[in-house]
Structure 1
Amino acid sequence: MTEKITAIVIDITRHNDKLNIVTLFTRSRGRISFLSPAGSGKMGRLRHSRLQPLAAIEADINFRQTAELQRLGTFALYTVWNNLYFDPVKRLVALFISEFLNKLLRATMPDEALWDFILNSISLLDNLPGGIANFHIAFLSSLLPFAGIQPDHTKYREGYMFDMQSGTFSPDCPVVANHELTLHADAARMAATLCRINFANMHALRLSRHDRQRVIQGLLTYYSIHFPGAGNLKSLEIIREIFD
């Protein structure tokens, strides 16, 4: 039975000389991997130009229940990004976000609210005229509730610690002072601040080069605790360099 899907591209890998494996996060079915013709001719290049990280597409798919990989035939762009792939900095941020989503979204369950959030976030990135140094930080912070690991920052008080394993703020305790998953003092205060960071106020977050690196590494570590492997990103070093 043919089904129309809307999807966001989160990964593209070479399968063989003729086929790529395209991983999509679909609105109705969650994560699904497809076989897609690689091609080297004019049509192949056109297809490749449309299947970029975070591209939003729509397609009619004849789902085969017994197939491990579905077939992605003809598709169309669901939304056209105006400069996401032409602005070199935005392109690298998009690469970082797509790699992170590919690590995070391992389950196949659909989540329409999450899908809408991701699409709206990409649209915002595409349309922002500048000032995107904190965009990836705001994205990871805003994604926390969807991932089910949003800490309750209202519980934070000056001098409290933050337990990354439980995601809770509490009075500092010497017993766990050396616990590698516990943040103290300035680090705990920053964790509480990050819980309030979103796309509307991200410009107010003033960070030095060193602090920005600590923040993004801290966020990825927190995600990795709850979603093993989510913070192991090849694009992290590039992000560090462009926002140095």
Structure 2
Amino acid sequence: MLKKTAGIVLNYLRYGDTSIIVKIFTRELGLKSYLVNGVRTQGKGSKIALYQPLTMLDLVVYDKENAGLQRISEAKIVHPHRLIPFDFARTSIALFMTEVINRSIYEGYQNEWLFDFLEESVLVLDRQESTLGHFPLVFLLEKAKYLGFAPESSEGFLVETVNHPFPPEEIGLTLEYLEDLLSRRYESQYRIPVMLRRKLLDHLLEFHSEHLDNPSPLKSLPIIRQLMG
């Protein structure tokens, strides 16, 4: 059966000489894997640009029950990226986002609110005026809400964990920063020492791994920590 849906590309794997298996988080159908033939070709006929990380697509797909790999009938880019593929910092954050989402959801998982948040985040990341230093932190804080394990208060992000890395002299400033991030989200301009931001990033990733039972480290983390300088 053919169905229409919006989708955001997470990643793809090469398959054979010219094909790929692409993982797409769709709004209506959830996380799906699609086999796309003949896209890794040379010249103007190549369509591999459609399947770069965080590309936002309008899709017409075949959706068969109990089938593993599905097929795409039509794919069209909704919002061509202006900055993400050409700016190292934005490209690195995009890879961080796809890695975090990939570890948080499973095949077939459907969540329209999470999809809408991811779509909003992609658009913000692609804006010239966006503040990137806070971006990974806001992304983790907001994603916890849409996956249902965010605490009721900013303090909960610090105390509802196995490890608590912040000494008493850092807690007050960290809580103020968290509250600003939670209220102003990507618009936050709050200034805080770089080392404290990096410590909070590590802590929030630990917080997520405890709730998602996924302890392996992120490949993109060393670069993201440097970008928060």
Q: Does 1:35 align with 2:20?
A: no
C-alpha contact 2:104 2:212 (8 A) present in aligned 1: yes
Alignment CA distance shift 1:36-1:187 (3 Å): farther
C-alpha contact 1:135 1:202 (8 A) present in aligned 2: no
Task: Structure 1 unaligned segments of length 5 or more: list them.
Answer: 165-179
- Large movers: runs of 4+ above 4 Å: 186-189
TM-score using structure 2 length: 0.85
Alignment CA distance shift 1:77-1:93 (3 Å): same
Distance 2:164 2:111 in 1: 31
Task: Structure 2 unaligned segments of length 5 or more: list them.
Answer: none
C-alpha contact 1:150 1:195 (8 A) present in aligned 2: no
CA displacement 1:81-125 (0-9 Å, x = unmatched): 222212221111111111111111225232112111110111111
Task: State the one-letter code of the partner of 1:194.
Answer: L
| Structure of greater Rg | 1
Partner of 1:219: 204
C-alpha contact 1:30 1:108 (8 A) present in aligned 2: yes
Distance 1:80 1:28 in 2: 21
Q: Number of matched residues?
A: 223
Distance 1:196 1:181 in 2: 23
Alignment CA distance shift 1:40-1:211 (3 Å): same
Alignment CA distance shift 1:186-1:13 (3 Å): farther
Aligned-residue identity in percent: 24
160, 163, 169: which one aligns with 1:163: 160
Secondary structure at the aligned position of 2:118 is classed as helix
**Matches for 1:3-152 after TM superposition, within 5 Å:** 3-37=3-37, 38-43=39-44, 45=46, 47-106=47-106, 108-152=108-152
Alignment CA distance shift 1:48-1:225 (3 Å): same
Alignment CA distance shift 1:133-1:20 (3 Å): same
Q: How far did 1:242 drift? A: 3.0
Partner of 1:203: 189
Secondary structure at the aligned position of 1:72 is classed as strand
Alignment CA distance shift 1:242-1:5 (3 Å): same
Task: State the one-letter code of the partner of 1:181.
Answer: N
